[in-house]
Amino acid sequence: MPNYRLVALDLDGTTLLDNKQISAETQYWIKKAGEAGGGVSFATGRGDRNTADYRTQLGLTSPMVLLNGAEIWKAPGVLLERRFMESSDIERLYHLAIESNSWFWGYTAEGYIRKDEWTKALLKEKWTKFGLSNEDISVINELKTVITNLGLEVTQSEPKSLEISVKGATKEYGIRKVCNLLDFDMSQVLAIGDGFNDLSLLKAAGLGIAMGNADPAIKEIADAVTDTNENNGVAQAICRYIFEMEYHHK
């Protein structure tokens, strides 16, 4: 792989189509990048259980950055690092969600939890990520300010939701860990994403590429902009920037 030794890929809105599948075109170019001798890592807000099928489908055994950097997996089934929030923070987030009439979800060491599955016993679990969503953007903006002031890491993959983890858990943090593990430098990373939770990674990578469907603010800071997820933007970016070829449908 010329210049770039690691491809860091967001999933939703980036690698995945709107129907949550991976197009044949994108599969082909991701596998080709892996076969060329570089690494391909997910950098996603998803957890292990709902990324495993994609990893298997693509034949990837490389390190993965999950839950926006709260979990880093060295290989399938091999956890390198997991960062937890304090139980007092989870209790506060739960009450903020209820008081604001927001939907919420999250990840514990045991798996994925949704609002309709909540019990008080869950306060004793170890939480890696807590998410809130609300149709009222003004409510989301108010919650973001309050939660940021709690000293937690707050980011967004879409305007109507918040994703919260322990301070410092970001996709950039996770990919830096992966680089250390593989003896790569961040300048050798090509990162592709569409959301605000990709922002710091796109800025830190050697080449940060925004999807065509990304928010204008993401495109503004990116080094380059590719096509949309529905038009094989990831495939086009890998073809152009990894293999330095003009993209054609396979």
Which sign, positive or negative, has the C-alpha torsion 130, 136, 141, 147?
negative
Are 125 and 182 found together in one domain? no
Is the pLDDT at 1 greater than 80? The verdict is: no
Identify whether residues 118 and 91 lie together within a single domain: yes
* Strand-pair partners of 40: 7
Rounded Cα distance between 151 and 129, Å, is: 14
pTM over 0.95: no
- What total number of domains does the chain contain? 2
Residue 248 inside a domain? The answer is no
> Has residue 108 been placed in a domain?
yes
Residue 9 pLDDT exceeds 50: yes
Distances (CA, A) of 247 to 31, 142, 190, 241, 243: 16, 44, 17, 10, 10
Percent of residues, the chain, with pLDDT higher than 90: 90
- Smallest Cα–Cα separation from 132: which of 174, 157, 162, 171? 162
How many alpha carbons lie under 13 Å from residue 93 in its C-beta half-sphere?
A: 35
174: containing domain: 6-82+170-242
Both 107 and 78 in one domain: the answer is no
With respect to residue 130, please indicate whether it lies within any of the assigned structural domains: yes
Last residue of a domain, one of 146, 165, 184: 165
Let me know if residue 250 belongs to a domain: no
| Domain assignment of residue 247, yes or no | no
Q: Which of 165, 190, 221 is the last residue of a domain?
A: 165
Active site residues: 10
Q: Are residues 71 and 174 in the same domain?
A: yes
Mean pLDDT over 47-69 rounds to 95
Residue 249: inside a domain: no
| pLDDT reading at 248 higher than 80 | no
In a domain, 1, yes or no: no
Same domain, 131 and 184: no
Residue 55 lies in a domain: yes
* CATH number of the domain encompassing residue 96: 3.30.1240.10
pLDDT per residue as tens digits for the range 195-239: 999 999 999 999 999 999 999 999 999 999 999 999 999 999 999
For 151-177, write each residue's pLDDT tens digit. 999 999 888 999 999 999 999 999 999
Sequence-distant (≥ 6) Cβ neighbours of residue 226 within 8 angstroms: 192, 209, 210, 211, 212, 233, 234, 236, 237, 240
Indicate whether 194 and 73 sit together in one domain. yes
pLDDT of residue 194: 97
User: Are residue 126 and residue 141 in the same domain, yes or no?
Assistant: yes
Residue where a domain stops, chosen among 165, 195, 222 = 165
